[in-house]
Amino acid sequence: MRALLLILFAATLYQEAKADQLMYLSQEHAKAATEYLLKEKQVILWCACCSDESKQLLDVTSVNYYRVEGDFYFVILRGTTPSGELVEKRLDLAYIHVNVQGKAKCLGQVLKITCDPCTKPFKWGV
């Protein structure tokens, strides 16, 4: 029984660790992500590791990066949903997908930053 509890605890920690992979970034990565996203018309936000989350298509309105503390930065994207709702999201680059030749690819991987988006590239769209 004790071994089972230990395994469940470890699995929970692993899942939590995957949920915030690339939210806090170096200035170099934050700047690269911002510059890349400013050229995009749409993105898909989706944490495939998170069982309670569905894909969200956003039209990109603006993108900026900000210092959190020390040498860490985060990226904020502002956009609109297909229904016109304004959305502002602090991004985790492991869970934002960009259109690369009709495939939705993880921005972290596109920028060659090690991460696990919990999904392979998929057909663009939601």
Domain ranges of the chain: 2-123
pTM for the model: 0.81
Residues 6 or more apart whose Cβ sits within 8 Å of residue 51 = none
DSSP 42: E
pLDDT tens sequence across 59-113 = 999 999 999 988 999 999 999 999 999 999 999 999 999 999 999 999 999 999 9
